[in-house]
């Protein structure tokens, strides 16, 4: 049953990538036509095509999300769907600026203007419906600069989805009473009562704080990635069916992704 699920997930991932490429090619064609025929919104179509191509290829995706200018913001949005309030405002203004320019300048009928207007409305609905990221204090997060400063090793794991060496983490063989929070944004992730010794080389938990952790398909097509629901930082992976605890679930988490906060009660 497990192998069947793995194959099914792999097939679904391949189908999604094929779909992204196919729709991306359609948008690319519309973008080229948009530059050949005056007034057509070629720029919008090309931007959408580029976004789909990036999501369909691991190499392109890693290149985009690892650049220093805007990689973290793009990666956070693609993985969690959450956006800082400032990013939402800029995105909506940009969509309507491009759309209105195309509608006003196009010499054609509403047969051409209509799809542009519909695209702008759909884009606005999509952007505004995304969760608005909040910082660790529960306030609206206007920008990613509110996150904690990370060391190079922490960036490798949390932002670039790396993995610390087994048995090297400070919380691997660690069982004090308290709470584990995200090292990047301080959001609560796990409680010590749900931690157990899996002898796997990394901290193991059988349950997360409710709604604190997001599960995502791993690019390898087999595993399931764990990410902080608040900031999108990489935590590790989740495994099932190992029968370590009653939940039959093991969250395998990097120590570098977390900070331990000792309980005031002892």
- How far, in Å, CA of 236 to CA of 162, rounded? 9
pLDDT tens series, the chain, 266 aa: 444 455 665 666 666 666 666 666 666 666 666 555 554 455 555 666 666 555 555 555 555 555 555 555 555 555 555 566 666 777 788 778 877 777 776 666 666 677 777 877 887 887 777 666 544 444 444 445 578 988 989 988 998 888 999 999 999 999 999 999 999 999 999 999 999 999 999 999 999 999 899 998 887 778 899 999 988 899 999 999 999 999 999 999 999 999 999 987 64
- How far, in Å, CA of 144 to CA of 135, rounded? 9
* Annotated catalytic residue, options 182, 228, 231, 252: 252
Last residue of a domain, one of 129, 163, 180: 129
Last residue of a domain, one of 79, 95, 129: 129
- Spell out a b/e string for 14-50, using b for 16 or more CB atoms within 10 Å of the CB, else e: eeebeebbeebeebbebbeebeeeebbbbebbbebbb
Number of H helices, E strands in the chain: 7, 9
Q: What is the pTM of this model?
A: 0.51
- Same domain? For 125 and 187 the reply is no
| Domain membership flag for residue 134 | no
- Residue 239, judged by CB atoms within 10 A of its CB (0-12, 13-18, 19+), counts as middle
Instruction: State residue 164's pLDDT score.
Output: 92
**Sheet of 178-182, strand order:** 188-191, 178-182, 258-262
Residue 252 annotated among the catalytic residues of the structure:
yes
- Tally the domains of the chain: 2
Last residue of a domain, one of 66, 101, 129: 129
Q: Give the domain extent around 163.
A: 148-262
- Same domain? For 121 and 152 the reply is no
- Same domain? For 160 and 110 the reply is no
- The CA angle 145-148-154, to the nearest 5 degrees, is 115
């Amino acid at each position: 049953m497990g192998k069947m699920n793995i194959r099914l997930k792999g097939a679904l991932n391949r189908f999604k990538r094929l779909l992204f490429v196919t729709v991306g090619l359609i948008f690319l064609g519309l973008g080229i036509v948009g530059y050949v025929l005056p007034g057509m919104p070629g720029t919008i179509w090309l931007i959408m095509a580029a976004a789909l191509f990036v999501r369909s290829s691991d190499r392109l995706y890693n290149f985009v999300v690892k650049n220093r200018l805007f990689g973290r913001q793009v990666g956070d949005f693609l993985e969690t769907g959450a956006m800082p309030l400032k990013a939402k405002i800029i995105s909506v203004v940009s969509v309507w600026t491009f759309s209105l320019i195309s509608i006003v300048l196009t010499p054609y009928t509403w047969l051409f203007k209509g799809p542009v207007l519909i695209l702008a409305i759909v884009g606005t609905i999509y952007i505004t419906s995304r969760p608005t990221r909040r910082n660790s204090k529960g306030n609206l997060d206007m920008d990613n600069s509110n996150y904690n400063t990370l060391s190079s090793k922490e960036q490798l794991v949390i932002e670039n989805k790396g993995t610390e060496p087994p048995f090297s983490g400070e919380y691997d063989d660690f069982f004090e009473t308290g709470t584990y929070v995200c090292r990047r944004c301080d959001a609560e992730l796990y409680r010590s009562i749900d931690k157990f010794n899996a002898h796997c080389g990394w901290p193991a938990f059988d349950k997360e704080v409710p709604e604190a952790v997001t599960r995502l398909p791993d690019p390898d097509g087999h595993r399931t990635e764990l990410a902080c629901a608040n900031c999108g930082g990489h935590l590790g992976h989740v495994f099932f069916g190992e029968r370590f605890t009653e939940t039959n679930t093991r969250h395998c988490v990097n120590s570098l992704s977390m900070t331990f906060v000792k309980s005031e009660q002892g």
